[in-house]
Amino acid sequence: MNPLGVGTHIVECLRIAQLIERHGELFLRRVFTPREIEYCSSRRLVTQQYAAQWAAKEAVLKAMGTGFTGGISWRDIEIRPEGGIRHTVAMGGSARDICASQRIVQMLISMSHCRTHATAYAIALGE
């Protein structure tokens, strides 16, 4: 497989905490899938988990080279835990269509967080 794009993002955990406090379930349901909400809410460091998921989605958009163009929504990108610290990326909706048109067949993701910041790095792979 060949790398077709890379993306990285960093976000302050406090920013995500403030969005959750200010907008609550509306924010969570707009940005995260039910599976992501269930996962993050079950973790000990809830805010850091949401921040890492946010950073991962932003990194994926940068690796695609599109941002939110073409009708992509936050929930078109789902970050799925695969046991331990490994995660995979599932695409839906417009994100899936754009990846197909760009011949992106897999997205690798790495996420990390501390008390104050969360970061993610994504690599878009093609055949």
All domains in the chain, ordered by first residue = 2-126 (3.90.470.20)
Angle (CA) 59 94 26, round 5°: 70
Instruction: Give the integer Cα–Cα distance in Å for 10 and 14.
Output: 12
Tokens found for residue 100: 């197909």
pLDDT at 84: 76
Tokens found for residue 35: 């599976």
Residue 113, CB-side half-sphere exposure with 13 Å CA sphere? 23
Distances (CA, A) of 1 to 46, 103, 105, 123, 125: 35, 11, 9, 11, 6
pLDDT, tens only, 18-62 = 999 999 999 999 999 999 999 999 999 999 999 999 999 999 999
pLDDT, tens only, 62-97 = 999 998 888 999 999 999 999 878 999 999 999 999
